Structure 1
Amino acid sequence: MDIYNHLINCKSNLLKYFGKKNICFLDIETTGLSRKYNQIYLIGMVYFDENNKNWCLKQIFANNTDQEKQILEKLNNIINQFDLIVTYNGISFDLPFIHHRCKKHSIHSKILDMNSFDIYREIKNHSSYIQLENLRLKTVEEKLGIYREDEYSGKDCINFYYQYMKNKDEVLKNRILKHNYDDLYYLMDIMKIFDHIRDIKSTVVDYNGKIINIEIKDIIASEDILKISCTTSTVDDYVDAIYYQGGFNIDWRGDNSLVIDLEFKEGLITPTKKCLFLYKADIPYSKDLNDLSQFIVPDNIILLKVEDKYEVENIKNILKHLIQYVLLEQDK
């Protein structure tokens, strides 16, 4: 077993996401996908080292599969000090894999009982709002402008590891370590995707010089109603406004919660792509309200959703329009 410690610079403000919790980013490399038949050969961790007052990237490497028990025992001695484990798809893969392999070696592990934050799952919860081809780590990195030097995949590393066990070629070992290092190093940076998501789901209304911030919290399509739940900044007198009209409802409360229901229609935007849309005529004073999507649509409709992706710019534009309408009505 070999252990490598690297002091690294953390460019992300992790306090913004996790507060003062003692967090540990975790990523493992395995000889395959089966918890029963495959082994863990590398455990990577990133955490704040109080002794050095810096972030530490630790790698625990098994030089052969017989050392799996040793690296798991080492992990088990370290992991319990943390308040939160941060992973990418770790709830489905890393954590249950570690638990199963610990059980195999009669190591009592509490890793499944620890608090965890799965970046993959959190992004997936917002996937209807963002344009991503898939949710692979590399895809998310590239969305944020991160292009790593590492040219190998986890699958490549499995082949490198089996070759390494035979010939002890340090070049192969370094490739594996580099791949795991980059996975962990950039895992901290991709927390910025949540800033990107928040920006996508946020907009502002300027009404008589007063800026009102709006953030979409949730959108649910049920039957023929699209329910958009938001929070808004404090709007002084413009609260507790309830409007029921054909095509839309507005419920704007004093606790800064805003719910807008839009009546939608279903159709096809292409011969194969389903969509949800509304008629502009159902929105008051909608003459200047236009579809902002990439699709060519008739002048009298606005797209709300295409397949599994919301047309967020259209939805935000409708929100702004309806809020201005409410404020104008309040001022009459």
Structure 2
Amino acid sequence: MYSREYKNELLLPKEVFDRYNMKEIAFFDIETTGFNKTSDIIMLISLGYYIDEKTFVTKQYYAEYIEDEEEIVKEFLEDLKEFNTWCTYNGIAFDEPYVIKKQQKYCIEGKIPEQHIDLYRLIKPYYTQFGMERCNLKTVEKYLGIERKDQIDGGLSAQLYKQYLYNNNEDIRDVIMLHNYEDVLNLPILFKLLYTIETDPKIKKEPKITPNQLKYIQVLSEKNNLNLKSDLKNITKKAAAKAIDSILKGNTDSANIDFIIKDTY
């Protein structure tokens, strides 16, 4: 395993930093050799966090060999244990289940953070109101004036990694690591856009759960002995409708209902 650590000055407006408790969040991103969580591997993980209001630390865990996957996941989870909230861009669908699958595969101890802030899902309902044509990470970064040094994407990372395994070229390794590093380094800046979404009255908001929906879910939860961890008062109307429909169809798995709520945006 090869590792690196960086410290950067990364200042956010105080109202943004305080509103989202930035010091309590672990920012992370993974690079993989493919989409199959069973046969493909995690080649690189980057973890970022604030140690004070202006200093952002980024740690990277790189698999120099395929066999290093277990070690980088273990080291990442060890450093993650101090956090109860993690943040990604589209990580609910990709990064989180990938990490959990590898944790299970290698029987690695460690608690996965209970709260997942997926900025992609929080920004996606509103990106067109800001004049953006797409909601991928680089488009949002460009809108916010973020300039990147790296010129590759996740697909090219996988191709480059195959070359690295063949020749152990450090320049190739550094290109892959730079891409993943900037993915994580830029995540906190996206909270400025989230702050605008939540506070600007000109932004048309996603309808919240109605009082009748909230009461109905509470009744159904009690009737079916559900122990939901979701903050029901703050979910969307669409998420509430999907949860109610699933319960009425016989779904009494609390974790699954929570996932349905989390997976709706």
Q: What's the TM-score once normalised by structure 1's chain length?
A: 0.57
Match for 1:132: what amino acid?
M
Relative distance call for 1:55 and 1:127 in structure 2 (3 A) is closer
Q: Identify unmatched segments of 5+ residues in structure 2.
A: 209-265
Distance in 2, matches of 1:31 and 1:102, equals 17
- What's the CA shift string for 1:128-171, capped at 9, x where partnerless? 63432121101111111223121111111111111111111111
Contact 1:3/1:60 (CA < 8 Å) preserved in 2? yes
Relative distance call for 1:172 and 1:114 in structure 2 (3 A) is same
Match for 2:109: what amino acid?
H
Secondary structure of the structure 2 residue equivalent to 1:7: strand
Say whether residues 1:47 and 2:49 are aligned partners: yes
Deviation of 1:105 after TM superposition, in Å, equals 1.3
Which structure has more helix as a fraction of its residues? 2
Contact 1:21/1:83 (CA < 8 Å) preserved in 2? no
Which structure has more strand as a fraction of its residues? 1
Which stretch shifts more, 145-154 or 122-131?
122-131
What is residue 188 of structure 1 aligned with on the other side? 188
What is residue 152 of structure 1 aligned with on the other side? 152
* Match runs of 1:112-127 below 5 Å: 114-127=114-127
Match for 2:42: what amino acid?
I
Q: Identify unmatched segments of 5+ residues in structure 1.
A: 204-214, 221-332
Match for 2:61: what amino acid?
I
Distance in 2, matches of 1:162 and 1:20, equals 36
Match for 1:98: what amino acid?
V
Deviation of 1:28 after TM superposition, in Å, equals 0.6
Deviation of 1:217 after TM superposition, in Å, equals 4.2
Contact 1:24/1:82 (CA < 8 Å) preserved in 2? yes
What is residue 87 of structure 1 aligned with on the other side? 88
Relative distance call for 1:128 and 1:140 in structure 2 (3 A) is closer
Match for 1:85: what amino acid?
W
What is residue 34 of structure 1 aligned with on the other side? 36
Secondary structure of the structure 2 residue equivalent to 1:117: strand
Larger CA Rg, structure 1 vs 2: 1
Say which structure, 1 or 2, has more relative contact order (CA 8 Å, 6+ apart).
2
Match for 2:60: what amino acid?
Q
RMSD: 2.2
Secondary structure of the structure 1 residue equivalent to 2:99: helix
Secondary structure of the structure 2 residue equivalent to 1:5: strand
Distance in 2, matches of 1:84 and 1:94, equals 14
- What's the CA shift string for 1:218-263, capped at 9, x where partnerless? 459xxxxxxxxxxxxxxxxxxxxxxxxxxxxxxxxxxxxxxxxxxx
**Taking every aligned residue pair, what percent have the same amino acid on both sides?**
31
What is residue 16 of structure 1 aligned with on the other side? 18
Relative distance call for 1:54 and 1:130 in structure 2 (3 A) is closer
Relative distance call for 1:162 and 1:168 in structure 2 (3 A) is same
Distance in 2, matches of 1:79 and 1:182, equals 19
Distance in 1, matches of 2:191 and 2:135, equals 14
Distance in 2, matches of 1:190 and 1:15, equals 11
What is residue 162 of structure 1 aligned with on the other side? 162
Deviation of 1:92 after TM superposition, in Å, equals 0.8
What is residue 202 of structure 1 aligned with on the other side? 201
What is residue 240 of structure 1 aligned with on the other side? none
Distance in 1, matches of 2:19 and 2:119, equals 11
Contact 1:35/1:97 (CA < 8 Å) preserved in 2? yes
Distance in 2, matches of 1:169 and 1:86, equals 31
Distance in 1, matches of 2:92 and 2:110, equals 15
Size of the alignment, in residue pairs?
205
Match for 1:44: what amino acid?
S
Secondary structure of the structure 2 residue equivalent to 1:202: coil
Contact 2:73/2:103 (CA < 8 Å) preserved in 1? yes
Match for 2:4: what amino acid?
Y
Q: What's the TM-score once normalised by structure 2's chain length?
A: 0.71
Contact 2:78/2:110 (CA < 8 Å) preserved in 1? no
